[in-house]
Amino acid sequence: MTLDKLADRLRRCREIVFFTGAGISTESGVPDFRSPGGIWTRYQPVYFEEFLRSEEARVRYWKMKRETIELYKNVKPNIGHHAIKTFEERGRLLGLITQNVDGLHRVAGVSEEKMVELHGTDRKVVCLGCEKEFDAQAIYEKISRDPTPPLCDRCGGFLKPATISFGQPMPVVAMRRAQELSQAAEIFIVVGSSLQVQPAASFPVIAKQGGAMLAIINRDPTPLDSLADFNHRGAIGEFFTTLQPLLTHA
């Protein structure tokens, strides 16, 4: 399928689902965790069970998260994030499923009711005991003054950014909603995901099995490229820059 044909399908469709991974945010200056310069090249990941049982692990975890949140102060949504918001404004976005925890889709203005953050968000802090939410910035500022892992002022439970760590169960509601969106999609567009992390990588397959047209936009090859009706291998910003004028054609 050519880009012109994809644009023609997009102009006529109101059941579009986007599925985004780290690659959509790298052009905003957010390093992929696994790539050179990413957080996992400098910190050993803290597994959820380790976070629960070890104060030393919690100290290490919060140090890593504080560095991440400092990075977020200087990054902004890019053309990819804004393009997805534009689909919503035109009434063509059925939903957005994202693996990202950077919150840039929210900053770009995508409605919360349209969005599923599969792995949560760094921009919220919650108590693992009573689920009370805390002002993230206030917690990060406290950590910068005192590295002692914070506790809930209501129940004494451990506080943690509202993200899914290794070994932590995936959120049931988010997974169900992502499956429903995948099954209902007429066009399912993967943007910036390696499609190697399960169970998230199963959603394009679910969409395809449900009859959706599948498009994959990514810098590198993915395991599902042969399943896709349209593939773009290259920069995401370049893709949307080329696509946008085609969407305005009659």
The DSSP annotation for 47-114 comes to PHHHHHH-HHHHHHHHHHHHHHHHHHTT----HHHHHHHHHHHTT-EEEEEE---S-HHHHHT--GGG
Same domain, 18 and 98: yes
Q: Summarize the confidence of residues 145-150 as an average pLDDT.
A: 92
Is the model's pLDDT at 131 over the cut of 70? yes
Q: Is the pLDDT of residue 248 over 90?
A: no
Which pLDDT score is estimated for 32? 67
The set of catalytic residues is 119
Cis previous bond, 199, omega within 30: yes
pLDDT value for 83: 96
Average the pLDDT over 9-30 and give the result: 93
Asked if 135 and 180 touch (Cβ cutoff 8 Å), the reply is no
**How many other C-beta atoms can be found within 10 angstroms of the C-beta atom of residue 193?**
26
pLDDT exceeds 50 at position 250: no
Which segment, 28-32, 34-38, 209-213, is predicted with the most confidence on average?
Answer: 209-213
46 and 91 assigned to the same domain: no
- Cα-Cα-Cα-Cα torsion 84, 85, 86, 87, nearest 10 degrees, comes to 60
pLDDT value, residue 135 = 84
Cα 26 from Cα 23, distance rounded (Å): 5
- Closest among 167, 166, 141 to 62, alpha carbons compared: 141
Distances in whole angstroms, Cα of residue 79 to Cα of each of 7, 31, 187:
17, 17, 20
Q: Kindly tell me the number of DSSP H helices and DSSP E strands found in the chain.
A: 10, 9
CATH number at residue 141: 3.30.1600.10
pLDDT cut 70: percent of the chain above it: 94
In this structure, are 136 and 245 located in the same domain? no
Q: What percent of the chain has pLDDT above 90?
A: 75
Please tell me whether residues 15 and 42 are part of one structural domain: no
SS3 content of the chain, % helix, strand, coil (to 5): 45, 20, 40
Residues 109-125 have pLDDT tens digits of 999 999 999 999 988 99
Average pLDDT, the chain: 91
Query: Domain with 108 in it: what CATH number?
Result: 3.40.50.1220
Examine the domain organization and report whether 39 and 62 are in the same domain.
Answer: yes
Q: What is the pLDDT of residues 32-84, one digit of tens each?
A: 655 555 555 566 789 999 999 999 999 999 988 888 887 777 889 999 999 99
Number of domains forming the structure of the chain:
2
Q: What is the mean pLDDT of residues 19-36?
A: 81
Answer yes or no: are the C-beta atoms of 188 and 207 closer than 8 Å.
yes
pLDDT band at 29 (very low <50, low <70, confident <90, very high): confident
The answer, yes or no, to whether residue 216 has pLDDT greater than 80, is: yes
**97 and 151 in one domain?**
no
pLDDT at 200 over 90: no
Q: Residue 69's pLDDT is what?
A: 81
Residues 91 and 204 occupy one common structural domain: yes
The pLDDT of residue 31 is 76
* Structural element, H or E, at residue 190: strand 187-191
Distance from CA of residue 132 to its chain's centroid? 23
pLDDT at site 38: 52
Task: State whether 44 and 68 are in the same domain.
Answer: yes
Residues 66 and 154 in one domain: yes
Clarify whether residues 23 and 129 are in a common domain: no
Span 175-195, average pLDDT: 96
Q: Which domain holds residue 65?
A: 31-74+121-163
